Every structure is written in structure tokens, then in C-alpha cells.
Amino acid sequence: MIQSGMDPELCEQFIDQLERYVRERLIPAERDVIEHDRIPDPILTEMREMGLFGLTVPEDYGGAGLNTSQYARVVRTMAYAAPAFRSIFSINVGMFNSAIKNGATEAQKAEWWPRIAGGEIACFGLTEPGSGSDSAAMQTTARPDPEGNGWILNGTKRYITNAPQASVGLIMARTQKEALPKNAHVSAFIVPMDAPGVSVGSADKKMGQSGAQIADIILEDVHVPGDALLGGETGKGFVFAMKSLDNGRISVGAAATGYARRALDSALRYAIERKAFGEPIANFQLIQQMLAESETEIYAAECMMADVTARADRGENILRKAAAFKVFASEMCGRVVDRVVQVYGGAGYLAEYDAERFFRDARIYRIYEGTTQILQLQIAKHMLRDFAAGV
């Protein structure tokens, strides 16, 4: 099914508005975010009023109705500023909304889409202390409530983005003891974060990405009604999660692309202003080489983003290409920020300059929503499968 999205002219106006907002409002607020490890409440209110938490929610339910191409452009634009500003709304418009779109009942859509579009923050509970991509090792369980129509959840989720601020979580849990083919032992549940038995650990201290908070979610005999089961059917949770991760990986790829552009712009400015041997270091050919290599790689990532999102909007299966985009863009961003530190020289190692922060912030892009290594395995597996099938 083709996703038409927002009117193209309106979308361009929205992107222009966002670019101004990023430069005039968000970048000046970065120091405050870093100092307090949180986004200021006034900015959160502004982001809600701009509709950022409901970008991909259908217009009939109060959202902006953006298609995947438009959504990725918004993410790339927002990612020019500190990563926390993208992180706070990205789970809503990427993985949570994708799972609702692909797997929810009409009643679930009617309840949660307006709430998400209104600015309620969502989180996505898949990773655990002993399992991430390995769903067979998942320990969180959901068993039928013996006293009525509902479920009782127990377990711990780890590294959950937005857990400290979220009002709802999409929680993956085992509904069968034994691992089943196609991960049919895992189901997905929509869990209000204020439900009795749900607790959130302290926000973890991280290498970078200040203000983008992650924490454990602990579920102790959490009762949820029967209609909390996503789609109303067991055994579909992992399928919904994996489909939504395609959007999550596009979001991370777009974020890495936008942040690489920010870092390169910073290096350009520094290279022009910094002088050595009586002239700007931008005149030195080996500095120019690092700048040119970075520009080339960012352009390649931008082209990949345009291609994979267009395919998504045409309804194609993008699992392999979304993974490839995420791998390339995240690794590219790592190479770019490394060069940026090198362009800054000794100053790049000091916390008072932006290059040091860019370097730390970028490192997580190669890990979350699927590490580079896991995604390489996934890409190769599907390549071999398609080749054997003559596709």
C-alpha cells in the first residue's frame, strides 16, 4: 500500500520551520540539556505543540500523517541538534506507532493514537539483562490471569529509551515456555507505566547523548486487561517488533546522517578560523581530504535514506535495506566524528569544544536498534535466502 503522506508543499514548509527551530532554539539549549541531563520542560511543551510526537499518526487520529520519507527528513533535521531532542519523540513516531499501525486492533488504535499524537511519551521494551536480539533467551513472562480476562507480567527490561519519562510501554513477553518457530512464543503488550507493579530504575549514566535517558523497567505481577495484548492474538509480538524495528533503524540512520552533517559543519568552521603557519588550516590538503571524505560519505548516506524510505512508502519489504542503511549511516557517522576530532587537533580532545561531544554521542548509533554485527548477519542471511529462492 502506497503511503501518500502530508501534502508535499506543507511538508517543505514544516521542514523549513524545523530548521529554524533547531538553529534558533534547540542548539542554544544544548548546554542546559548537557548540564541537567534532561530536556527543559518548556522545550518539551513546544515540541508537543509542533506535533512532533504524532508525526506518523494518521490525521484522523490527531497526527500529522507523514509517510516514511517525510518522517526520516524530520528526524535528520532534528538530529542536527543534540541527540536528546530526536530521542524523546522517536520511539513514538517510529517503533511504537509502527507496531500500532501493523498489529493493533481498531479499538487499540482509537485509544492510543490520539494519546500519542497529543504528546504522551512511549517506550519500547524488548531488550533484557540477558537477551537482546536473542528472543529465545527472553525471560519476561506473561501468563493468563487465573481470576479473569487479563494477563500478569513479570520480568525486567534493560536500556529502555525514554523509560523515565514514558507513560506507556510496548512490552515483549513470553506467552509460551518453549521457543517456537518464527518467535511465536513472544507476544506484545501495551502497558501503562503507572500500572501497579511497574517500576523504573534510575536513569543510567552514559558515555554520551546527555538528556536522552534510558533505564530499566521492572515488572512485578503487573496485571493488564485482555485488550492490552497487541492485536488481540498471542504469538505475534516479535513479528510486530521486528517490523517496527525497520522504522527504528531508519530513524537511527537518519539521526546519524543529520549528526554527521552537524559535526562536519563544525569542522569546516574550525578549519577556516584556526590558523597554523600563518594561514587557515583549511588550506592544507590533508585537512581538505578529511573534509571531502566526510562530505562524500554523508552524501552516500543521504542517497541511501532517500532510496529506502521511498521503497517503504511504496509498500516494499525493506528489512534488508533498512538494516543496510542503518549499518552504513551509523558507521559513517563514527568515521566522520573521528575525522572532526582530528581536524580540531588537540582542541578536539577537550570537553570545552564540540568535537569531543560529537565523538561520544555518535558511538551509540552503531549499537542500538541492532548492532552493526547483528545487522550484518541479518543482511547476509536474507541475501542467501533470496539467492536460494531465485529472487
Q: Which residues are the active-site residues?
A: 369
Close Cβ partners of 73 (under 8 Å, ≥ 6 residues apart): 11, 15, 254
Of 3, 132, 147, 118, whose CA–CA distance to 71 is shortest? 3
Residues forming a β-bridge with 279: 276
Close Cβ partners of 80 (under 8 Å, ≥ 6 residues apart): 19, 22, 23, 27, 258, 259, 261, 262
CA atoms within 13 Å, Cβ hemisphere of 75:
33
Amino acid at 106: E
Angle at 176 between CA 175 and CA 178, to 5 degrees: 150
Q: Nearest 5°: phi and psi at 94?
A: -100, -90
Amino acid at 2: I
Q: State how far the Cα of 352 lies from the Cα of 36, in Å rounded to an integer.
A: 16
Residues forming a β-bridge with 169: 123, 191
Q: State how far the Cα of 174 lies from the Cα of 349, in Å rounded to an integer.
A: 46
Close Cβ partners of 91 (under 8 Å, ≥ 6 residues apart): 121, 122, 123, 124, 161, 162, 166, 248
Residue 286's CB is within 10 A of a number of other CB atoms, namely 9
Which 8-state DSSP code applies to residue 23? Answer: I
Amino acid at 367: I
